Each structure stands twice: as C-alpha cells, then as structure tokens.
Amino acid sequence: MIRVVTLDPFEQETLQQLTRILYQAFGLGCEYAGEVKFPEVSKKGEAIDPVELLTKAEAVRGFADDKVLYLTTRPLAQRELPSGKAPTAGFSQYDGERALVSSHGMPSGEALVKRLAKQCIHELGHVWELHHCLDPRCAMYAPWSPAFLTGEPSLCTFCREQSEQKIRMAKT
Amino acid sequence: MAIAETEIKVGDRVVYPNQGVCQVIGLTEMEIGGQRETFFKLSREDDQATVMVPKGRLEKVGVRRIADLSELKKVFAYLASPVEGPELDWKVRHRSHGERMSLGGLMGLAQVVKGLTTLADLRPLPPKERELYNNARHLLVSEIAAAASISEVSAEDAVDLALFPPGQERKKPDLAALALAAGEGEGDELDLGEGMDLGAGVEEAEEPQEAEGAEAEAEEGEVEAEEAPPAKAKKPAAKAEKPPKEKPAKAAAPKKKAEKPAAKAAKPKAKPEKKAAAKPKPAKSKGKK
C-alpha cells in the first residue's frame, strides 16, 4: 500500500487524482493518509534539505511493506554530488520506505497533477529499487531532462515489470 | 586493482565482480572433494547473501577494493565526455561488455552503461541488453554510493548528471556517420544481433530499410519485366521466399505499397497456391451442411 501524507495543504481533488494515477502506475493500493506537522529542519536560504526532511518527517501508521510518500509545497535544496549540483524536486530512500516530493515550481491547474504524479512515480520507483531508465517516456527517466517534463505519468514496460516483481516479493 | 589475500581482513568492504559490494565476514575451512580448503566468507550488501571465495583464488576471481575518490573523478569525467559511436557489431559488443563487467572495475561498468546509453539513443535495446544495462547500472551505482559515502539515490543522480547535464538535450550519435564507418551498403549496418531477442521497437526501426529495399527491387522487377520476360518468374519467386524469413507481421504493411508494381509478376505464382489452399474449405462446408 502507498500512503500519501501531506506536509503542507493540498487540494483534495489533486490528491484524489494523484492516488488514482499512482494506483494505475504500480498496480498497488494507494490512499491519502492525512496531513502531518512539518518537522523542524535546517534550511539553505529558503530551500529545505531533502535528506534531513525525509528522515525527520513524522511517521504514519501502516503495515510492514507500506511505502509513505510525503508531499510538500516548499522548495527543496539542490544536492551537492560528485558530478555537480542535482536539481531536486524529490528524494527517496532506495529500497526503503519513504519518498518525498515537492510541488514547488510545478505548473498549476491540470498540468500540476501530471507533473506531480510523474515525480511521485519516479521517487516511489526508487523505493522499489528501480534505477533510472533509458526510455524518455518513462517516469524513471532522468527527472531534470526536458523529456521528463512532458508526457504521461507512467512507467515503461521494463520498469513496470521490475516494480511488479519487487512488489510481489515484498508482500507479507 | 585486484586485492591480494594478505591485504584482506575481516570487516573490509570489497567488490566482487558481477556481485557488487561485499563485506568480509570471516574465514572458514571446508572440505570439498576430500580436500580441505580455506575460504573467505563475504556478505553481499544488497541482500546479505553469502559468497565464498577460496583463499588462493581471490586475485584470480577479481575481488578488488572499492574505488577511491580519484577513480571516481575519472569515471565521472568519462561519463561526461562527448558521446562516441557505440560498438555496432553485437558479437564484439557482447564479448567486450562481458569482460568489462567482470574484470573492468568501476571504469568498466561505466563503459558498459555509457555504451548502452549511446546505443539506446539509436534504437531501443533488446531485452537481454536492457537487462545487462540494468545490472551494470546497479553495480555502478552501489559502488559509487559506497565509495563516495552517499545514498544510492544520490549516486544514481550523480551518474545521470554526468550523462544528461541539466537543461540540455543529449547529443545523439550521428547515424549517417556511423553507417559509413560500419561499411557502405553492407546491409545491416546497425546490427543489434539477429541471434538476440530483439524488442518490438527494433523491428519497427527496420521497416523503412526493408521498404526501401523492396521498392528498389520492385523497380528493378518492372524494368526487367519489360526487357526480359523469362526473368519475371525468378524475381517474384525470390520475393515470395523472403517474407517467411521475416518474422514481424507489421512488416507486411509498408511492403504493400512497394509490392504494387511487382504484383503483376507475382500473381501467376500466388494464385494457384491460394486456390490449392482454398479448395478444402468448400468441401468442409459441404460436409457440414
């Protein structure tokens, strides 16, 4: 089960559409689990450290294999990596339980749902040990590339099969 | 970069080729085939699976230390370097990728990932190579994460930051130049390997070439049909033999256009076969009545 938790207020309609898209993408139940208090985390200017936010975010009740997706509207700080600064719209624990996505800088209206859903699928994919994909139409493609910003929020056949395999193996 | 048996101790983190980052958890003695032998016991960090390596074969197997920061820099510089044409001969590619995966170290993994990324820009990868890409990427990412002490997601992003710099479309290899380099007019220039399991996208990509070939054949057929009537029968017969070799049913669609001029010549041969095949049907229907 994917549990969507908000750290900031989001429109109910957006959340409903998002849970539906996530259910379709992974073939796994997805529900909105409510809003939790934004934790106290260090800031770099206005941006928030995504790694710290993900570890400090309040836990929600769930079962062993549940994955928790935190949503925020605040900007996330770019991460310093050995090959440069990574634009960060989300972060997740590889083979872990938690993922985080920020809607900051995303378009408003109907386009928001698609863009947000694609980023959510990407981060949740990492939670199920998916790597970045070669297919520009896949949600697991490099998230800062121009191809990622357009197109449908869905996985390619290879990534879908991989995620299904992981989900099947993880079922308690 | 291989590690000698004297240099390794319990608690060290090492890389076992094709298995990934492992931790040395101890030494055990086992009797195999009447011989007692000492083994290094390694625990794979991915899933805590145990890997046993005979003490004397550590170097031969290719167990090595985790890459250091200077090697990481070289790898990222290589990933960010301009795109070279991928190896087009699938046999050479298959062999070299196998060697790089097992003995190439971190740079070898980076070469496999970059090579297959470049190839994927030309054509969708066949399933086996897509699987290989995923394995190579997994090993590369987990070693970078261990070497730079960062999370795997960050290591993943670091690899793609070098491969796909933000705000830029990737420069794709020049298809025409590659075809020229592979040998002019030698047919299957961008060979992904007929013996390999090709994806649907690959078949689609081959269609235009076939259609062009068919058009050329059709034109030749027309000219020959006017000049030399006995040649008529040979050409359509050769064409009739070709389609069964080609697997995809989709390929038939673009051929329709190309076959039009040659259709006249093909008719005499095709008709009797159809009739012969169709004959039993009426007989069956009669029987039913």
Tens-place pLDDT, residues A70-105 = 999 999 999 989 888 989 999 999 989 999 999 998
> B150 contacts in A (CB within 8 Å)?
81-82
Measure in Å the smallest separation between the Cα of A20 and chain B Cα atoms.
25
> Residue A148, SS3?
helix
| Distance of alpha carbon A38 from alpha carbon A25, whole angstroms | 28
Comparison of pLDDT for B145 and A108, the residue scoring more? B145
Banded pLDDT at B194 (limits 50, 70, 90): very low
Q: Do A144 and B166 touch (CB under 8 A)?
A: yes
Banded pLDDT at B196 (limits 50, 70, 90): very low
What is residue A111's predicted lDDT score, i.e. its pLDDT?
A: 87
Task: Locate A11 and state its tokens.
Answer: 């429109």
- Mean pLDDT for chain B overall: 71
What residue has token string 């008719």?
A: B267
What is residue B173's predicted lDDT score, i.e. its pLDDT?
A: 61
Banded pLDDT at B185 (limits 50, 70, 90): very low
Mutate to test the interface with B, among A83, A140, A162 (most CBs of B within 10 A): A83
In the DSSP assignment, the letter for residue A45 is T
> B124 contacts in A (CB within 8 Å)?
135
What is residue B158's predicted lDDT score, i.e. its pLDDT?
A: 94
Banded pLDDT at B276 (limits 50, 70, 90): very low
For B79, nearest residue in chain A (alpha carbons): A83
What is residue B7's predicted lDDT score, i.e. its pLDDT?
A: 77
What is residue B109's predicted lDDT score, i.e. its pLDDT?
A: 93
> B160 contacts in A (CB within 8 Å)?
132, 142
Q: What is the pLDDT of residues A14-34, one digit of tens each?
A: 999 999 999 999 999 999 999
Please determine, for residue B176, whether its predicted confidence score (pLDDT) is greater than 50: yes
What is residue B169's predicted lDDT score, i.e. its pLDDT?
A: 62
Measure in Å the smallest separation between the Cα of B105 and chain A Cα atoms.
19
Q: How many CB pairs under 8 A join A and B?
A: 76
Task: Locate A4 and state its tokens.
Answer: 């969507």
Q: Do B153 and A126 touch (CB under 8 A)?
A: yes
What is residue A146's predicted lDDT score, i.e. its pLDDT?
A: 86
For B141, nearest residue in chain A (alpha carbons): A131
| Distance of alpha carbon A141 from alpha carbon A147, whole angstroms | 8
| pLDDT mean over B244-252 | 43
H or E segment to which residue B223 belongs: helix B200-227
Please determine, for residue B258, whether its predicted confidence score (pLDDT) is greater than 50: no
Predicted TM-score (pTM) above 0.80: no
Task: Locate B107 and state its tokens.
Answer: 């740079």
What is residue A172's predicted lDDT score, i.e. its pLDDT?
A: 59
Q: Which of A51, A79, A83 shows the shortest C-beta gap to B162?
A: A83
In the DSSP assignment, the letter for residue B8 is -
> Residue B192, SS3?
coil
Banded pLDDT at B60 (limits 50, 70, 90): confident
The beta strand positions in B102-237, using DSSP E, are: none
| Distance of alpha carbon B197 from alpha carbon B67, whole angstroms | 34
Please determine, for residue A107, whether its predicted confidence score (pLDDT) is greater than 70: yes
Banded pLDDT at B22 (limits 50, 70, 90): very high
Q: Name the residue type at position B10.
A: V
Banded pLDDT at B228 (limits 50, 70, 90): very low
Banded pLDDT at B175 (limits 50, 70, 90): low
Could you tell me the CA-to-CA distances from B49 to A45, B34, B63, B132 in Å, in that order? 44, 26, 16, 21
Q: Do A86 and B157 touch (CB under 8 A)?
A: yes
H or E segment to which residue B20 belongs: strand B20-32
Task: Locate A122 and state its tokens.
Answer: 């990407």
- Residue pair B136/B116 in contact (Cβ under 8 Å)? The answer is yes
Please determine, for residue B100, whether its predicted confidence score (pLDDT) is greater than 60: yes
**Cβ-proximal residues to A3 (8 Å cutoff; 6+ apart), any chain:** A30, A31, A33, A60, A62, A66, A67, A68, A69
Measure in Å the smallest separation between the Cα of B60 and chain A Cα atoms.
30
| pLDDT mean over B177-206 | 47
Measure in Å the smallest separation between the Cα of B76 and chain A Cα atoms.
6
Q: Do A91 and B153 touch (CB under 8 A)?
A: yes
Comparison of pLDDT for B151 and B203, the residue scoring more? B151
What is residue B170's predicted lDDT score, i.e. its pLDDT?
A: 61
> B159 contacts in A (CB within 8 Å)?
83, 132
> A83 contacts in B (CB within 8 Å)?
76, 79-80, 158-159, 161-162
> A82 contacts in B (CB within 8 Å)?
72-73, 76, 144, 148, 150, 158
Could you tell me the CA-to-CA distances from A12 to A31, A34, A113, B151 in Å, in that order? 12, 11, 12, 33
> Any idea which of A102-111, A115-124, B81-90 has the lowest mean pLDDT?
B81-90
Residue B237 phi, psi (nearest 5) = -65, -40
Using CA atoms in the order B242, B243, B246, B247, what is the torsion angle rounded to 10 degrees?
Answer: -150
Please determine, for residue A166, whether its predicted confidence score (pLDDT) is greater than 70: yes
> B122 contacts in A (CB within 8 Å)?
none
Measure in Å the smallest separation between the Cα of B185 and chain A Cα atoms.
29
Task: Locate B58 and state its tokens.
Answer: 């550590």
| pLDDT mean over A101-128 | 92
Residues making up chain B, counted from first to last: 289
Residue closest to B157 by CA, chosen among B171, B172, B137: B137
CB atoms within 10 A of CB B228: 10
Of chain B, the percentage scoring pLDDT greater than 70 comes to 57
Q: What is the pLDDT of residues A40-79, one digit of tens each?
A: 888 878 889 999 999 999 988 878 889 999 999 999 999 9
Show which of residues 8-47 on chain A sit within 8 Å of chain B, judged by CB atoms: none
Q: Do A81 and B154 touch (CB under 8 A)?
A: yes
Banded pLDDT at B28 (limits 50, 70, 90): very high
- B78 Cβ under 8 Å from any chain A Cβ: no
| pLDDT mean over B170-189 | 55
| Distance of alpha carbon B26 from alpha carbon B9, whole angstroms | 8
Q: Do B150 and A91 touch (CB under 8 A)?
A: no
> Any idea which of A38-52, A155-169, B204-218 has the lowest mean pLDDT?
B204-218
Please determine, for residue B134, whether its predicted confidence score (pLDDT) is greater than 90: yes
Measure in Å the smallest separation between the Cα of B172 and chain A Cα atoms.
13
